[in-house]
A = this chain, B = another copy of it.
Amino acid sequence: GQVLADTHRMIRQGFPEAVYAEGKTLEQTSDALAALVAAHGCALATRVNAEAGEMLMQRFPTGSYDGVSRLYRIGRMSGDFKALTVAVVCAGTSDVPVAEEAAQTLEFAGVSVRRITDVGVAGLHRLLARLDDVRAASLVIAVAGMEGALPSVLGGLVAAPVIAVPTSVGYGANLQGVAALLGMLNSCASGLSVVNIDNGFGAAMAAIRMLNVMVKA
């Protein structure tokens, strides 16, 4: 077939390969999921549209589809991250789908997530009101579109690692998220690290790499 699932990835990286469903036929997605479930007992597909989500429910009835995050999940990983939690903070309501891709990928991996939503910098008091919640977390994933200033402000307020996720929310000079991406890469708050536009999954994976070291440390 045309799919060669990377079933060693679990060993090398502590996380199974996830299936990127965009641009794949349903059959290709399906085959990849089957191979991964066979190897690991669980599997995750990202960027699954509603129609494909329904079809997958028929082939993998124990799975579940979430229309906001567009994730299809079968089972979950057996990891144990103890008391470590991740704060998924998001600037606007329109950024929720990306934040959920991050949050639910983390939950699939067994990580506890605290969601803090609609606390963009235009109304700073909303973020300041939630600062204790953010500070309680071991890691922060900060999701923002438009000018993407939230991670900068957060990065100046907390000591924990901040993974910044630009979203494509906005229009015009936003250039489909490029404005937010550039903003985050140039943050004056040192020590942010950044993932691709709308890449909630990638942010969760970066977090899991860190948490894996933390639980072992």
Contact = CB atoms under 8 A, between A and B. Distances in A.
Contacts of A160: 209, 212-213
Contact of A198 (B14, B172, B205): B172
Contact of A188 (B14, B122, B193): B122
Contacts of A199: 171-172
Interface string A1-33: 011101011001111011010111000100010
Contacts of A43: none
A133 to B, nearest CB: 13
A208 B201 CA distance: 23
Given A2-B93, A149-B187, 18 more contacts: A4-B117, A12-B156, A13-B159, A32-B93, A122-B188, A124-B153, A139-B213, A146-B188, A161-B210, A171-B197, A172-B185, A172-B197, A180-B186, A191-B202, A191-B209, A193-B195, A194-B194, A210-B210
Interface of A: 2-4, 6, 8-9, 12-15, 17-18, 20, 22-24, 28, 32, 84, 91-94, 96, 117-126, 138-139, 146-149, 152-153, 155-163, 166, 168-199, 201-203, 205-206, 208-210, 212-215, 217
